[in-house]
Amino acid sequence: MAGRDVRGGTLPEGLADAIRATAQDIAELLRGAPGTAGSVPRSRWTVGEAAAHLAQANALMADIAAGRPRGYGDGTPQSLAEANDRALAAFGERGAEPLAAMIVAQAGAYLDAAAEHPAGETLVTPLGPMSRAVLGSYLLTHMLGHGYDLARALKRPHMVDAARAGLALPFMTEVMPRVTDAKSTAGLTACYAVRLWGGDRFGVTFDDGAVTVGRQLPDRPDCTLSIEPATFLLMALGRRTAAGAITRGHVYAWGRKPWIGPRFPAYFTAP
């Protein structure tokens, strides 16, 4: 189901509100921070660098949504990391208030562009071709991942919840074949049914390492995974481990080969 903006573009219902709210949540974290020089857990970035990256990434996605192509790596993790480093080196702002304002403004610029152009038109993005609607899911996913990091760094509650994780799913399922780890999946033949608590579901099939992802579940999955939605997103983004999620009762696996369930996140490189 889609929600329609009066200016003519369409996005999935709830996506625009989630993008706007997540940008505001991140801005509030930054505005309440004692400073931006502190380190982000499990990252080589400071709070200021992570926020600067978010401001730049939101601007990049707003430009792409407006039909202004932007080169940014070749889609591989190494090229994206290198592009991030070059962009940060050329951008000196690390202040909380200016970056908070940029993050909100550029999220709004994406929404303006999405409202004014066809949501289904294919665009070139850092992670391959996708529609404006999926690009919006990408924007939300990216903000949620780094917003989670900033919340941990600042010891504040994060904004990743089941509803927003569900809106990130179109991007996650579209990009999964592009971020499959070739070494982990070499020679792998297996099929998974992934069920998120609340109703979302999708299937993942590996055929001698080649992966296919679709909304239809396989008829006879080797393993069915039942996952709390926010946990799924955080696992997919490398922010939470499968072992920890299973221990907390946020993931259950069953089927003919339940033991392959915990391996599933390792088949992909976090986008």
Range of the domain at 13: 2-159
The overall average pLDDT reported for the chain is 93
Whether the per-residue pLDDT at 103 is higher than 50: the answer is yes
- 9-26 burial, b if ≥16 CB within 10 A, otherwise e? bbbbeebbebbebbbebb
Query: Are 11 and 143 contained in the same domain?
Result: yes
The whole-number pLDDT of residue 118 equals 86
The whole-number pLDDT of residue 9 equals 62
> Rounded to an integer, what is the distance from CA 3 to the centroid of its chain?
21
- 37: domain CATH number? 1.20.120.450
The whole-number pLDDT of residue 270 equals 82
User: With a threshold of 0.85, does the pTM exceed it?
Assistant: yes
The whole-number pLDDT of residue 5 equals 38
Query: Are 145 and 190 contained in the same domain?
Result: no
Task: Indicate the residue type of 239.
Answer: R
On whether residue 175 sits in a domain, the answer given is no
Residues 6+ apart with CB under 8 A from 92: none
Query: Are 66 and 155 contained in the same domain?
Result: yes
Residue entry with tokens 């979302």: 200
Query: Are 147 and 216 contained in the same domain?
Result: no
Report, as an integer, the average pLDDT of 64-79.
85
What is the token pair recorded at 262?
Answer: 């915990």
Cα separation, 208 vs 181, in Å, equals 13
In the chain, what percentage of residues exceed pLDDT 90? 85
Look at strands 128-131 and 223-227 and give their pairing: unpaired
Task: Indicate the residue type of 240.
Answer: R
pLDDT level of residue 7 (50, 70, 90 thresholds): very low
Q: How many CA atoms lie within 13 A of 153 on its CB side?
A: 29
Instruction: Answer for the pair 114, 167: CB distance below 8 angstroms, yes or no.
Output: no
Query: Are 24 and 116 contained in the same domain?
Result: yes
Residue entry with tokens 């070499």: 186
pLDDT level of residue 6 (50, 70, 90 thresholds): very low
Q: DSSP H helical segments within the chain, as ranges?
A: 15-31, 47-65, 77-89, 96-116, 132-153, 162-175, 182-185, 229-236, 242-247
Query: Are 83 and 205 contained in the same domain?
Result: no
The whole-number pLDDT of residue 8 equals 43
Query: Are 27 and 146 contained in the same domain?
Result: yes
Query: Are 142 and 226 contained in the same domain?
Result: no
Report, as an integer, the average pLDDT of 169-187.
94
Give the DSSP per-residue string, 199-259. Answer: S-EEEEEEETTEEEEESSPPSS-SEEEEE-HHHHHHHHTTSS-HHHHHHTTSEEEESS-GG
Coil/strand/helix, residue 127: coil
| Residue 263: Cβ-neighbour burial (10 angstroms; 0-12, 13-18, 19+) | middle
Q: How many domains does the chain contain in total?
A: 2
On whether residue 189 sits in a domain, the answer given is yes
Residue 52, phi-psi category: left (phi > 0), alpha (psi -120 to 50), beta (remainder): alpha
Cα separation, 115 vs 61, in Å, equals 14
Which position has the higher pLDDT, 209 or 28?
28
On whether residue 139 sits in a domain, the answer given is yes
Nearest to 113 by CA among 52, 68, 176: 68
